[in-house]
Homo-oligomer: A and B are copies of this chain.
Amino acid sequence: MARPKSEDKRLALIDATTRAVAEFGLGAATSLIARKAGVAEGTLFRYFATKDVLFNEVYYHHKQDLGTELMKSYDQSLPVKERARKIWNSYIDWGLVNIDARKAMSQLVVSGKITKETLQKIFDEFPELRQLSNESITNEYLTCGESPFGDAIFFALAETTMEFAAKEQERKQDYMAAGFDVMWRGMTKA
């Protein structure tokens, strides 16, 4: 098969990259990453052709992980607001657990190193989640179905909420509720 030998090593490299980027930024050396992953310097390049490819795969990996996590909370049977709140809470929780992933990704997004292809792949993968924001948004200034802006706002608010919840974990519940409140009141009509 095309995929090289060990899936373990692949994951170890992705994990090591996440931690290295969280700690040292995008300038983290590939040799450091390899060391953190417990593999040889050269091995990294057998799994990922270049550092940028590695970065894209790291980004994709975590986004997918997050998406999967959120889907577990997606419950069609719930009323829209409760459906949204469950997703929201899962999102914040994921962020608090995957601190390094969040740090690494915040650098990756703005770096310009994540390709359109990577972004598209993720976009395509969880249509249900996007649908959710479509359902809840009702804003007179935006034509209906203006999902990308709604998505972005949802994420932006969630990111902000996470940041504060991470800093003051004991007030996590407060921030979670307050953030959701802002999001919900902001994005839905009356």
Number of A residues, CB within 8 Å of B? 40
One of A56-64, A87-95, A158-166 contacting the partner: A158-166
Nearest-CB distance from A25 to chain B (Å)? Answer: 6
Say whether, besides A110-B106, A156-B157, A139 and B187 are in contact (CB < 8 Å).
no
Number of copies: 4
Give the most central of A106, A153, A164: most B CB within 10 Å: A153
Say whether, besides A25-B26, A25-B111, A110-B106, A181 and B140 are in contact (CB < 8 Å).
yes
Instruction: Establish whether residues B141 and A152, one from each chain, have CB atoms under 8 Å apart when the complex forms.
Output: no
Chain B residues with Cβ below 8 Å from A139 are 178, 181-182
Chain B residues with Cβ below 8 Å from A107 are 107, 110-111
- Among B112, B146, B156, B174, which residue has its beta carbon within 8 angstroms of that of A160? B156
- Interface residue A27 (Cβ < 8 Å from any Cβ of B): yes
Interface flags for A90-119 (1: CB within 8 Å of B; 0: not) read 000000000000010011001111000000
Chain B residues with Cβ below 8 Å from A32 are none
Chain B residues with Cβ below 8 Å from A111 are 25, 107
Pairs across A and B, CB under 8 Å, 28 listed: A2-B40, A25-B113, A26-B26, A27-B27, A106-B110, A107-B107, A107-B110, A107-B111, A110-B110, A139-B178, A141-B174, A141-B178, A141-B181, A149-B160, A149-B164, A149-B175, A149-B178, A152-B160, A152-B163, A152-B164, A153-B160, A153-B182, A156-B156, A156-B157, A156-B159, A182-B187, A183-B186, A184-B186
